[in-house]
Amino acid sequence: MEESNTQEVPQSEETVLITEQEPSEFKATPSAIGFPMPDDAPDPGTCIRVERPESGLAVVTFDSPHRSFPIFDAPLLRDLDAVLTELEDDVTLKGIVFTGRHPGQFLAGADVEAIQEITDPILVEQAVIAVHALFDRVEQLKPRTIAAVGGPVPGGAFEFSMACDRILLVDDKASRIGLPETMLGILPGWGGTHRLPRRIGIPGALDCILTGRMLPAKPAKKRGLVDRLVHAEDLVRVASDIAMGRKNCRRFSRGIWKWLIDRNPLATTIIRSKALEGVDSKAHGKYPAPYAALDLVLSAPGAVRSTWAAREAKAIGTLATGSVCKSLVGIFFASEAAKKLGKRADGSEPARLDHATVVGAGVMGAGIASSLALARVNVRLGDLSSKALATAISSHRKEVEKRRRRKRLQPNAANAAIDHLVGVEGLLGMARSEIAIEAVAEVLHVKASVFGELAEQLADDAILATNTSSLSVTAIAKDLPYPERVVGMHFFNPVKAMPLVEVVRGEETSDETITRTCALAIALGKTPVVTRDVPGFLVNRILGPYLDEAVRLFVGGADVERVDSLMLNFGMPMGPFVLLDEVGFDIAQHAAASLHAGYGDRMEPCPGLSGMGDDRRLGRKTGKGFYDHPKPEDRKGKRTVAQDLASFQTESWASSLPDVEITDRLVYAMVGEAARCLEEKVVKDESTLDLASVFGTGFAPFRGGLWSHAQRIGLEAVCARMSELHSREDVHARGGGADRFDPAPVAARMTE
């Protein structure tokens, strides 16, 4: 991978333009940086080390002592200002290498906590302009500058790297580089919307910025985000050789294409139209960041350099202080907190689980087993049906092959993923398993029997995890010899797509079992949420009233497409009737019966689903529900509203309800149950409930989650609206379910 020549690094046209630019009109000072200084801020000069291993070379290492992973917070920016002054004054320097404390760690980008705290757009603009000034000074350094980076290089860390003459990235599976800011409701504000399109062109920059995708090493090199890949052990040495001119490293160049595309009005008009279509299809006008980024990137090639900071600062000031950014950052913090669930109280991590058993080769069991195998866990999938096993193995192979085709798996990894999954008729040969996950029928004695048989084979510290969605984990563990090892591990369907796993604590489940189970969920790329062992746990408990209200609206005469469209506009990923078709009427009725048994009249289900037909009408899996669904082989087919729905609508009161009334009935049904969940401590706190509502129910992320949405509306407004809904004639006429709109639990929780 190394080059042995000793040619000087050629000064490309881009480099000449950069070095001849006028100095920035801004001067960063510690007071102008604008970010709040953390309580544990170290002494000035301690966040960055400058070493001079040879004459003419400076190696600048970011090594903040107060951070396990350095970020561009106020102390580091303060010290960077001082270091740049030192480098600017040193006329003996020929090359400078900027790097992290080790090859697998550079910088984690901007201080997200600071973004969350700042509420004044003017302060945000000042902070952005101050950091721009620092990065401009890096770009204007006369010595050759090399960013030698590895591991995750997100956002501001990548923007800093682009201010250097060359970027070297460690060729390792842990390396990722990109601009994920739009995922947090902002945009790359430290030069990213200008430097990246100039580096790789408008089309490539739009793809990176609008998707927020972090690219692995080889794709990043191919697309021009970095200039060279190196082995970890060679990173600083090769970077030093390039900085000193002993090795050649050509900068990525698009040649004539930057003139034919980036500066061609016709081409940019076409690009804008296609990009806007893509943004609309995903953001639906609810997320302002992609739209703002689109405008900045498209106009970047013609932007005057002196306006870069002001353009990005204005956009960031508006976005960073808006509700969408605050909501998305809140979800980010909650998801980061969930990652810590895989560690013990003392910070140590449990040993990786390498061998697993999955019992039940149905849709859920097959999906769980496949996910485990793709995560390099050796899995034995047990079932009494050879046909079910064959179907599960075939589905797993198809998934592996699809990932191989899309280059998400290398050939060796793909072969290993196939080898990791073995089908077994029965429950023999499971002794090596460190965890057994059952996904059999939702019948208490069946699940307990499976665990009883497995407990005789498994080691004394093996975990017994149930994928139940409606049964009590405590009841399943009741007669087992090791109840402390029994835990709920509730995946959602489809397993490969749904990011949430509810880890359910039974009355005797140990902390160690919870931690090890959460660690496994994280290893699978899932987000764990620990819940109490109550009927419906958390997600199904708050989703149940929502779906039941939808069925009541339908029976009352509401138009199915209208209701689904209203909830799509609210921000849900699909309407409630599409969701019911996806879940299946039989599954939905079973879950509703479980909630009714657990919570009484408040959860009494509307009989609308049971009156719609028989086993031939269960939703998408039978081709007919609220919608008629195309056959699986008909890839171009589209679902259409079933033509016989009117025959199941026995009333007409809901047909004339205003849009806001329909939306509020569905949303406030969830809010009321969420308040009860918080009071009963079903989950740890409000942010955990928000995270679960977004990752489990698809609740609109730009609203911050279910409880954040209620808090943003406010106590008085929420309670007043729920009281109005509670007093509706049709609500009082119900046999049950009216109490879900009782504002008292919401008022108690929000007042607290």
Give the tens place of pLDDT for each residue, 366-385: 999 999 999 999 999 999 99
Q: Burial of 583 by CB count in 10 Å (0-12 exposed, 13-18 middle, 19+ buried)?
A: buried
Band of residue 13 on the pLDDT scale cut at 50, 70, 90? very low
Q: Each residue of 488-542: pLDDT tens digit?
A: 999 998 999 999 999 999 999 999 999 999 999 999 999 999 999 999 999 999 9
Closest CA to 514 of 535, 531, 539, 491: 531
Question: What is the identity of the amino acid at 77?
Answer: L
Residue boundaries of the structural domains of the chain:
13-20+44-249+257-331, 344-532, 539-751
Whether 543 has a pLDDT exceeding 80, the answer reads yes
Lowest mean pLDDT among 1-10, 312-321, 409-418: 1-10
What does DSSP assign to residue 613? Answer: -
Do 103 and 233 touch, CB atoms closer than 8 A?
Answer: yes
Domain range 13-20+44-249+257-331, CATH class: alpha beta
Measuring CA to CA, how many Å separate 504 from each of 60, 479, 482, 489, 517?
A: 47, 18, 16, 6, 10
Can you read off the two tokens belonging to residue 605?
Answer: 């289900």
Place of tokens 């958390």: 538
Can you read off the two tokens belonging to residue 136?
Answer: 């401009």
Helix axes 659-679, 706-713, angle to 10 degrees: 110
Question: What string of DSSP letters covers 56-95?
Answer: TEEEEEE--TT-SS--B-HHHHHHHHHHHHHHHH-TT--E
Whether 258 has a pLDDT exceeding 80, the answer reads no
Q: Each residue of 261-276: pLDDT tens digit?
A: 766 778 888 888 999 9
Can you read off the two tokens belonging to residue 587?
Answer: 């599954």
Lowest mean pLDDT among 33-42, 98-107, 446-455: 33-42
Q: Burial of 623 by CB count in 10 Å (0-12 exposed, 13-18 middle, 19+ buried)?
A: middle
pLDDT attached to residue 499: 95
Residue-averaged pLDDT of the chain: 91
Residues acting as catalytic residues: 490
Three-state SS string over 164-200 comes to CCEEEEECCCCCEEECCHHHHCCCCCCCHHHHHHHHH
**Helix, strand or coil for residue 676?**
helix
- Report which secondary-structure segment, H or E, holds 530: strand 527-532
Whether 29 has a pLDDT exceeding 70, the answer reads no
pLDDT attached to residue 253: 74
The end-to-end CA distance of the chain, in Å, is 61
Closest CA to 342 of 521, 469, 564: 521
| Cα 311 to Cα 303: distance, rounded to the nearest angstrom | 9
Place of tokens 């259409």: 640
| Cα 562 to Cα 575: distance, rounded to the nearest angstrom | 9
pLDDT attached to residue 7: 37
| Cα 439 to Cα 92: distance, rounded to the nearest angstrom | 68
Please provide the CATH number assigned to the domain covering 539-751.
1.10.1040.50
pLDDT attached to residue 736: 77
What is the mean pLDDT of the segment spanning 177-201?
94
Question: What is the identity of the amino acid at 736?
Answer: G
Q: Burial of 724 by CB count in 10 Å (0-12 exposed, 13-18 middle, 19+ buried)?
A: middle
Whether 260 has a pLDDT exceeding 90, the answer reads no
Whether 20 has a pLDDT exceeding 80, the answer reads no
Band of residue 650 on the pLDDT scale cut at 50, 70, 90? confident
pLDDT attached to residue 634: 82
Whether 1 has a pLDDT exceeding 60, the answer reads no
DSSP bridge pairs for 356: 379, 435
Lowest mean pLDDT among 18-27, 157-166, 403-412: 18-27
Whether 71 has a pLDDT exceeding 50, the answer reads yes
pLDDT attached to residue 537: 97
Whether 639 has a pLDDT exceeding 70, the answer reads yes
DSSP bridge pairs for 99: 61, 148
pLDDT attached to residue 34: 60
Closest CA to 662 of 728, 608, 717, 612: 728
CATH superfamily of 344-532: NAD(P)-binding Rossmann-like Domain (3.40.50.720)
Band of residue 179 on the pLDDT scale cut at 50, 70, 90? very high
Whether 15 has a pLDDT exceeding 90, the answer reads no
Whether 415 has a pLDDT exceeding 90, the answer reads yes
DSSP bridge pairs for 178: 154, 214
